[in-house]
Amino acid sequence: MSAATDSKATRRIAFLGTGLMGAPMARRLIQAGFSVTVWNRDPAKAAGLVAEGAIHAPSPAEAVQDIDVVFTMLTNGDAVAEVLFNKGVADALSKGAAVVDCSSIAPPIARDNAQKLAQRGIRSLDAPVSGGTAGAAAGTLAIMAGGDAELVDELGDVFAALGRVTYVGPSGAGQVCKLANQQIVAITIGALAEAMVLVEAGGASREAFRTAIRGGFAESRILDLHGDRMIRRDFEPGGASANQLKDLNAVAALADTLSLDLPLTAMVRDEFQAFVNEGGGGRDHSGLLLHLEKHNPSSREKG
């Protein structure tokens, strides 16, 4: 047995939160040969993973018993703190275990969680990801890790199953980089949606427009994936607009503490807030197109 194979056979992983992103990430770890225990608030969302070889735990504290590495992929900072400190995870972990939080939460919360875990002898990383459900399924996520650089190296074989990890700085730095990523995503989605409205109102084909600019300076992953969603009008969530708004609100809060003026981010945040208020929170963030169509009578509205 090779050293790499032996590491996978002996390293025990718990994955807490097996929703849209967590389930395909846990599946990648199972497929890579790791022993994976899973927990989700709704057990039905973990059932498919059990069929593929995961061990199901009825509670997060039971999921982390005798575990080496705990991944969390939860809705927000409150949910992460609740699971770690109110549902017994931190108390159930052995000293020297590692917590890798892949959730998107505010940097101050990530730093506070890291400090509390360190007081218990538990190592941690804030390691939010980018790449959506497609990247999670393919194992091509961009992972931004904040915390102990040595721990990032130590868990290299684990991260390799999920995507490409980059150490970005001390605790909280991963979340800062994720917020910056979300700024770019939101602003680019907004720009693309506005362009789609302009193109159709001007009498051109949205599909032909997207094809025409591929490979030029406007090329991006968002043009590729979300441009296709806008053309096909497929707004089932890969990344929900409510979560995009949550991240933009966190950007605004961080900008305030740093005395920064970020006008483009503020404008697109207002548009996402309006879209969520109109009932679009459960739609994919590319669904911002629907909000712009609704408020532009000259654009052909398609509902």
**303 pLDDT above the threshold of 60:** no
Helices 206-213 + 173-201 axis angle, to 10: 130
Q: What is the pLDDT of residue 239?
A: 87
According to the model, what pLDDT value does residue 2 have?
Answer: 41
pLDDT at position 99 over 70: yes
Whole-angstrom distance, CA of residue 140 vs CA of residue 169: 21
300 domain-assigned? no
Q: What is the predicted pLDDT for the residue at 1?
A: 37
6 pLDDT higher than 90: no
Q: Model confidence at 25, in pLDDT bands (50, 70, 90)?
A: very high
Residue 302 included in any domain = no
Q: CB of 139 within 8 A of CB of 24?
A: no
Do residue 118 and residue 205 come from a single domain? no
pLDDT of residue 5: 46
The Cα–Cα gap between 286 and 241 comes to: 8
How far apart, in whole angstroms, are the C-alpha atoms of residue 106 and residue 179? Answer: 8
Over residues 32-54, mean pLDDT: 95
Domain boundary among 170, 204, 235: 170
Q: What residues contact 99, with CB distance under 8 A and at least 6 apart?
A: 69, 70, 72, 84, 89, 93, 113, 117, 122, 123, 124, 125
If pLDDT is split at 50, 70 and 90, which confidence band does 300 have? low
Q: What is the pLDDT of residues 114-143, one digit of tens each?
A: 999 999 999 999 999 999 888 999 999 999
Cα–Cα distances (Å) from 266 to 205, 249, 287, in that order, read: 30, 9, 18
Domain of 194, CATH number, reads: 1.10.1040.10
Instruction: Assess whether 161 and 243 both reside in one domain.
Output: no
In a domain, 203, yes or no: yes
With a cut of 70, say whether residue 155 has pLDDT above it. Answer: yes
Beta-carbon contacts of 214 under 8 Å, excluding residues fewer than 6 positions away, are 223, 224
Question: Over the chain, what is the mean pLDDT?
Answer: 94
User: In the prediction, which pLDDT does 116 show?
Assistant: 97
User: Does residue 205 share a domain with residue 156?
Assistant: no
The answer on pLDDT for 80 being more than 70 is yes
**Domain tally, the chain:** 2
pLDDT tens for residues 46-73? 999 999 999 999 999 999 999 999 999 9
Give the residue from 70, 168, 63 showing the smallest Cα distance to 120: 70
* Contact criterion met (CB below 8 Å) for 99 and 137: no
Query: Per-residue pLDDT tens for 162-210?
Result: 999 999 999 999 999 999 999 999 999 999 999 999 999 999 999 999 9
pLDDT at 235: 97
- Mean pLDDT confidence for 270-296: 97
Residue 238 has a pLDDT of 84
Identify the domain containing residue 57 by its residue range. 3-170
Q: Is the same domain home to 29 and 154?
A: yes
What is the pLDDT at residue 4?
A: 46
Nearest-angstrom CA–CA distance, 189 and 267: 13
* The pLDDT value given to residue 95: 94
Write out the catalytic residue numbers.
178
